[in-house]
Structure 1
Amino acid sequence: MLPFEEADIQAAKSVALRSMAALPDPELDQVYEHVKALDPTGRRFAAVLRDTIDQLLNGEVTGRYDWKTLFKTEKTHAGTLVEINLQREFRFADGDAMDYQIVGIDVDCKYSQQFGGWMIPPEAVGHLCLLAWADDYRSRWSIGLVRIRGEWLNTGNNRDLKLTIKAAHRDKIHWLWRNEPLPENVLLHMDAADRNAVLAAGSGQQRLNELFRRVQRRRIGRNVVRTVAQQKDYMKRVRGNGGSRSALRPEGILIMGDYASHRMIAGRLGLPLPEEGEFVSARVTPSGPQHGDSPRVSLDGKEWVLAQPDDLVVPAPALPSHTRGD
């Protein structure tokens, strides 16, 4: 044997690995382009990840809003649910050896709530892997594609022989979306004193009223409403005719939903636009000279602006009538 130094051997291996990583991968490119075309903005992926976390929390039944309160078995089940829900959303075909077939190519799917924690099984080596990550505490998510190579995996004693990708090789991941905003879990992120006041407010209707009173100018998702109300008819509790909209109108608070007319009002007031199943509440007041060039909207024959803390409380105008096709 030639007297090569260990450092020389390792350097040669490093060069070989870099060369291998740099080789074209037409299958990866095809899957990447196809998935990107299915969801150019990433909105559908974000919704699936948000809904899957909410599905695990099951707030309507359990009242939970925090990932840390899940049982160990539920956290373990998260990856399977992400895999199922992505397949349902994008109608990926079943794979032969892996989870999916995308444009005729086998692709495995792995989810981790901890970035870099994807557990790769031995049978995935050589295959493409769709890596998903979502962190409810940071309100961020990522989706990427990588061709799994054995030399890029950590060694370990996992009883299923599953291994993680070495940190030094995460740069081999081709990110479709990286560190994107995850729809916010408002209950998790709101001020603790406000959250305690909401949850202690009594009936489901009273809790929802307190939620929209205390959490203004932020998008509030359907699952937060469901968790706070803990009632089957939770959406009815938001609407007028006895719901939070009519209860909070005397306090000057508007609750805008995902209807086009409501989104237009929110936009003109400079508020976040409610997406499907979301609401945004805000206290408004008639426009006066003191409001300068603040964003405004015309309702009930008056110009309205977002109220400042020192503005007098004035009953809010009625929101325009709408239909689901609005």
Structure 2
Amino acid sequence: MPDERKGHVRDPHVIVHPDDDHQLQDVFAWLTITPLERRMTQAVDEAVKYVLDGSRTGRFDLMSPDVDSDERASVGTKLQYRVLHALDLVKEPPLDTTIAGIPVELKATVHSNWMIPTEGQCEICMLVQVDSKNVRYRTFLMRTHRAWLREGKNKDGKRGIAAAALAGYALPLLDWAPMPAEPLKLLTRAQIDVVFAPRVGQMERLTALFGYLPNTVIPRSSIETVCAGNRDPLRRARQAKELVFERFGYTVLCGTWPAERVIASERGFDISGDAWVALTPSGL
């Protein structure tokens, strides 16, 4: 039985192994026939970037001391809605959504465990764990029976999942999968001081960025983070092309232009989605 919940009555039920849980298997089958890793990776990336809000704050690392613990924890909440969007699901009761006509709870965490609310006990849960330190995430599907949850609960009545139960009864959807790389994390401390130097023009700072990171795909979001709070960062990036060539001999390509996408692709770089790359002469 799940914990008591005011206004709701639940009947006792028998716990069955996941292999014999037909609803769990139906949801698992639905999820595994979708391009799950591509869609989930995009959802995780969007949730993290939403919290960092780089184009306004200049932040690019969730583990930075500039990001407080409450903001970091909010990635889980933001991720739930992005998972719904990524999988073409809708928010609907009695839980978070329905998959194959079966109610499913969505839980995401940036910590080591998920806190399951009373309404999610003994229900099917899609569990996403984001490991920002190691730039990766993983996903499980599990019926979170009350018997498989920890005895201790928080002030909201939520309980964590027992480690042994997760290992024995959760169905892995995605093992640790890499999150999209953030090239700004490749900069040294000294380089960061130059690229994010106050009272220095955007074009100068972007020229330094391309010079420090040749043959590295730089997404549009990274350009906007470097130019946080300023107008027309992409225009300034285009204007920096000549300076980058003059100072470093690198050819800057932008994914906005089909011809430049083709050149980059021929050299092994995907700059679709308005990404950029500075090619060295050897790369050309």
2:115 aligned counterpart, secondary structure: coil
Q: What residue is the counterpart of 1:282 in the other structure?
A: 279
Instruction: Give the deviation of 1:125 after TM superposition.
Output: 1.2
Shift of 1:221: 2.2
Q: How large is the Cα RMSD of the aligned pairs?
A: 2.4
1:235 aligns with 2:234: yes
Aligned match of 1:152 = 148
Name the amino acid aligned to 2:161: I
Question: Residues of 2 paired with 1:175 and 1:31: CA distance?
Answer: 13
Instruction: Give the distance between the partners of 1:249 and 1:219, measured in 2 at CA.
Output: 17
- Distance across 2 between alignment mates of 1:263 and 1:177: 31
Change (3 A) 1:159 1:183: same
CA contact (8 A) 2:104 2:125 kept: yes
CA distance in 2, matches of 1:180, 1:306: 29
* AA of the residue aligned to 2:129: W
The structural deviation recorded for 1:121 is 1.0
The runs of 4+ residues in structure 1 deviating greater than 4 Å are none
Query: Match of 1:54?
Result: 49
1:43 counterpart (8, 14, 38): 38
Partner of 2:7 in structure 1? none
1:268 is aligned to 2:256: no
Distance in 2 (alpha carbons) for counterparts of 1:22 and 1:56? 35
Counterpart in 2 of 1:81? 78
1:137 matched residue in structure 2: 133
Gap change, CA 1:148 and 1:157, over 3 Å in 2: closer
Task: Give the whole-Å Cα distance in 1 for the aligned partners of 2:176 and 2:163.
Answer: 17
Secondary structure of the residue aligned to 1:55 is helix
1:168 maps to 2:164: yes
CA contact (8 A) 1:136 1:185 kept: no
SS at match of 1:262: helix
Give the letter aligned to residue 227 of structure 1.
T
Give, in whole Å, the separation in 1 of the partners of 2:48 and 2:31: 22
Aligned equivalents of 1:98, 1:244: Cα separation in 2: 50
**Cα shift at 1:22:** 4.7
Q: CA deviation at 1:98?
A: 1.0
Q: Which shifted more, 254-263 or 126-135?
A: 254-263
Aligned-pair distance for 1:65?
Answer: 1.9
Distance (Å, rounded) in 1 between the aligned partners of 2:117 and 2:249: 56
Q: Given the superposition, is the C-alpha separation of residues 192 and 22 from structure 1 closer, same or farther in structure 2, using an over 3 Å criterion?
A: same
CA contact (8 A) 1:93 1:102 kept: no
Distance 1:149 1:206, change over 3 A: same
Provide the identity percentage.
24
2-side partners of 1:175 and 1:186: how far apart? 29
How many Å apart are 1:64 and its aligned residue? 1.6
SS of residue matched to 1:132: strand
The answer to whether structure 1 residue 246 and structure 2 residue 245 are counterparts is no
Which of these two proteins has the greater Rg computed from alpha carbons?
1
Quote the Cα distance in structure 2 between the aligned partners of 1:232 and 1:27: 51
Alpha-carbon separation, structure 2, partners of 1:60 and 1:207: 15
Residues 68-107 of structure 1 aligned to structure 2 (within 5 Å): 68=64, 69-107=66-104
1:119 corresponds to which residue?
Answer: 115
Deviation (angstroms), 1:245: 2.3
1:92-119 Cα distance to aligned partner (Å, 9 max, x none): 12232211112211111111123x3211
Query: CA-to-partner distance for each residue in 1:223-247, whole Å, 9 max, x for gaps?
Result: 21111012242222223xxx22233
Offset of residue 34 of structure 1: 2.2
How many angstroms apart in 2 are the aligned matches of 1:274 and 1:233? 20
Partner of 1:28: 24
Residue 219 (1) aligns with residue 235 (2): no
**Equivalent residues of 2:215, 2:283 under 8 A apart:** no
Q: 2:138 touches 2:176 (CA, 8 Å); kept in 1? A: yes
Query: Is contact 1:112-1:134 (8 Å) kept?
Result: yes
Question: Residues 150 and 181 of structure 1: is their aligned pair in 2 closer, same or farther, counting only changes over 3 Å?
Answer: same
In 2, Cα distance between the equivalents of 1:155 and 1:186? 42
TM-score by length of 2: 0.83
Question: Aligned to 1:66, which of 61, 67, 77?
Answer: 61
Q: 1:21 & 1:187 partners in 2: Cα distance?
A: 46
Cα gap change, 1:84 to 1:255, in 2 (>3 Å): same
Q: Which of 187, 206, 226 lines up with 2:184 in the alignment?
A: 187
**Alpha-carbon contact 1:205-1:237 (below 8 Å) kept:** yes
Unaligned segments of structure 2, at least 5 residues: 1-13
Structure possessing the higher relative contact order (Cα contacts under 8 Å, 6 or more residues apart): 2
